[in-house]
Structure 1
Amino acid sequence: MNNKRDKIKDAGYEKHYVYNAHYHLIWCTKYRNQIFTNQDLAQEMRDLLKQIAEDNQIKIEKMEVMPEHIHLLISFRPSKSGSSVVKA
């Protein structure tokens, strides 16, 4: 980067720092029961996760709801800790 104005693709810019951290979260249903085979329930889970992310200033990069587990690729400001985001 030769110029201060050059931007890093997909990076977050704040007043005093630049960040580009992504976290891949995976969690499974109890006993790996396939409860998300019902499309209405899977969509309700997607909507719920999107609302929680919006309320906590978390960006969902990718989300996949599988029959017995969920994958999330998220990013957030460095002022938040990973543990506080997972607890949200």
Structure 2
Amino acid sequence: MALIITDDCINCDVCEPECPNGAISQGEEIYVIDPGLCTECVGHFDEPQCQQVCPVDCIPLDPNRVESKEQLMEKYQLLTSAE
């Protein structure tokens, strides 16, 4: 699954620099995650780094974007092969 940032976001700016895929950016009101770039840090870390640093715990799994670890690894490989 990709992750999603909820309306509880306080725009503290700690998650954006932690994302190794550049999937997090400032939206119109709160930070947003591009599901096409989010691998839940698979391929980079054991845990999603944005979830680890979020002080208000507002970055859950997106139930509308279910992906297996294998699919996330494939996405990671596609993203990193373009570098």
Higher Rg: 1
TM bracket, shorter-chain basis: 0.3 to 0.5
TM-score for the superposition, normalised by structure 1: 0.32
TM-score for the superposition, normalised by structure 2: 0.33
